[in-house]
C-alpha cells in the first residue's frame, strides 16, 4: 500500500497524469471547501505550461494555446463528504474524488498538455467549484462567451460518451403544528409529511409507467426529520426530483404548492434535462479517439445531473460529457479508479482534442 502524497511531477505523460490525480485526491475538497486544492492546481498547472488563475468565485481557469477556435473542458474540483483513506492497491487508486470528478479533470489536464500550444485551437480547462451543491461555479460562467465545443469532465468510462442528463428539482417541506395527544384523532406532523411524499411518489409512478429510466420522473427523500418539544409538533423533509426531457417542471411546482397544505415549501432550483445530438464534429472526434485506443464506442444517457444541464442550454454549442472512471462508484465508500482506465481515457482525450484542433 502506497500512501498518497504531492509529487513534484509534470503532467505531460500518462504516468505523471496519474500522479497529478493522486496529489489532487490527497487534498480534501468537500463542496465549498475547495480553496487549498484550487491554489495547488493553479501552481501545478502553471508549472506545466498553462496560463492559470482563479476567478471571483474560486473556479480554476487554465488556458493552453492562442487559436481562434475554443474547446472548453469543464470539470469540478469539489467532492461530496465522506473520508476514504487515499491509498493504492496494485494499480487501483482509492480516494474521494478519484472518479467524481478529479479523475476526469486530471486526465484532461494531461491530454491538453500534449497538444501543441501554437495550433489553431485554444483549450480552456476549468475546475468549477460547488458542483455537488448549488453549481455556483458553473452558474458564474454563464456570462462568458460560449466556446465552440464544450466537454464536461464527468466519468463515462473510457470507451463511452455521455450525451444526456436528467433535470433536477429540489423541494424543502416544513410543517409545524400544535402538539396533540398521540391517541387523538389528529394526524401528527410526521404523518402529514409522509402523506405529502406518498402523493408525490404515486404521481411519479403514474407518469413513469412503461417508460425507461431516462424518460421517467424520479422522486427521492434525501432528508427527513420529525420532533416535538411538548408544545409544537414539527416535520421537515427534502425531496430530490430527477426530471426527464420535456417535463412540465412548472406544473410539478404548482402541484407541490397545492399538496403542501399548511406546510412551508421552498424550491431551491430547477434545471431542465439536457440531451445533446450525436452528429457533431465533437462527438465524431471522440468516437474516433475511442476506436483508435482499441475501444468500441458506447453512448450513455445518465439519470443524474451535471453542469451540462446549466451550461449547454445557455451556450447552445456542441457538447458531451466524457471521462475515465466507473460512475457507479460516484459518492460511494468504494470510490476508486484503475490506472489502465485512466491512461486509456488520457489517450482518447488526446486523440479527440488533436482532431478538433485540426
> Is 131 among the residues known to form the active site?
yes
Verify cis geometry, omega within 30 degrees of 0, for the bond prior to 93. no
Name the DSSP class of 213.
Answer: G
Q: How far is CA 99 from CA 48, 129, 292, 330, in A?
A: 23, 16, 23, 6
Count Cα atoms within 13 angstroms, Cβ side, for 112: 29
Verify cis geometry, omega within 30 degrees of 0, for the bond prior to 209. no
| Bridge pairing between strands 218-228 and 167-178 | unpaired
Name the DSSP class of 99.
Answer: T
By the 8 A CB rule, do 276 and 315 touch?
A: no
What is the DSSP code string of 250-294?
Answer: HHHHHHHHHHTTTSEEEEEEEE--EE--S-SHHHHHHHHHHHHTT
Choosing from 22, 63, 78, 271, which is the catalytic residue?
78
Choosing from 34, 100, 131, 233, which is the catalytic residue?
131
Give the torsion through C-alpha atoms of 164, 272, 55, 286, to 10 deg. 10
Q: Distance between the two ends of the chain, CA-based, in angstroms?
A: 43
Count Cα atoms within 13 angstroms, Cβ side, for 235: 19
> Is 78 among the residues known to form the active site?
yes
User: How many C-beta atoms lie closer than 10 Å to residue 18's C-beta?
Assistant: 24
Which residues have a catalytic role annotated?
A: 78, 131
Amino acid at each position: 500500500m502506497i500512501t498518497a502524497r504531492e509529487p513534484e511531477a509534470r503532467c505531460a505523460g500518462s504516468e505523471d497524469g496519474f500522479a497529478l490525480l493522486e496529489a489532487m485526491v490527497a487534498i480534501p475538497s468537500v463542496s465549498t471547501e475547495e480553496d487549498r486544492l484550487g491554489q495547488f492546481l493553479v501552481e501545478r498547472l502553471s508549472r506545466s505550461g498553462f496560463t492559470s488563475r482563479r476567478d471571483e468565485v474560486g473556479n480554476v481557469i487554465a488556458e493552453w494555446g492562442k487559436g481562434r477556435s475554443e474547446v472548453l473542458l469543464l470539470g469540478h474540483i469539489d467532492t461530496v463528504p465522506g473520508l476514504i483513506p487515499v491509498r493504492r492497491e496494485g494499480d487501483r487508486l482509492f480516494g474521494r474524488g478519484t472518479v467524481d470528478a478529479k479523475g476526469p479533470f486530471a486526465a484532461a489536464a494531461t491530454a491538453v498538455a500534449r497538444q501543441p500550444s501554437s495550433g489553431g485551437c485554444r483549450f480552456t480547462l476549468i475546475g468549477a467549484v460547488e458542483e455537488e451543491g448549488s453549481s455556483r461555479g458553473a452558474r458564474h460562467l454563464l456570462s462568458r462567451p460560449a466556446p465552440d465545443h464544450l466537454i464536461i469532465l464527468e466519468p463515462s468510462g473510457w470507451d463511452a460518451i455521455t450525451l444526456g442528463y436528467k433535470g433536477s428539482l429540489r423541494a424543502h417541506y416544513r410543517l409545524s403544528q400544535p402538539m396533540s395527544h398521540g391517541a387523538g384523532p389528529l394526524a401528527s406532523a410526521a404523518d402529514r409529511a409522509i402523506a405529502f411524499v406518498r402523493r408525490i411518489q404515486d404521481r411519479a409512478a403514474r407518469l413513469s409507467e412503461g417508460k425507461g429510466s431516462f424518460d421517467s420522473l424520479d422522486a427521492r427523500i434525501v432528508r427527513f426529520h420529525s420532533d416535538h418539544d411538548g408544545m409544537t409538533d414539527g416535520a421537515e423533509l427534502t425531496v430530490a426530483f430527477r426530471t426527464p426531457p420535456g417535463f412540465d417542471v412548472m406544473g410539478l411546482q404548482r402541484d407541490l404548492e397545492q399538496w403542501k397544505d399548511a406546510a412551508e415549501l421552498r424550491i431551491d432550483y430547477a434545471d431542465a434535462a439536457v440531451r445533446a445530438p450525436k452528429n457533431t464534429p465533437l462527438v465524431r472526434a471522440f468516437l474516433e479517439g475511442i476506436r483508435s485506443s482499441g475501444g468500441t464506442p458506447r453512448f450513455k444517457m445518465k439519470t443524474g445531473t451535471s453542469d451540462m444541464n446549466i451550461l449547454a442550454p445557455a451556450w447552445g454549442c456542441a457538447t458531451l460529457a466524457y471521462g475515465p472512471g466507473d460512475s457507479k462508484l460516484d459518492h460511494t465508500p468504494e470510490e476508486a479508479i484503475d490506472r489502465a482506465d485512466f491512461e486509456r481515457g488520457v489517450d482518447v482525450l488526446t486523440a479527440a482534442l488533436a482532431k478538433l484542433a485540426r
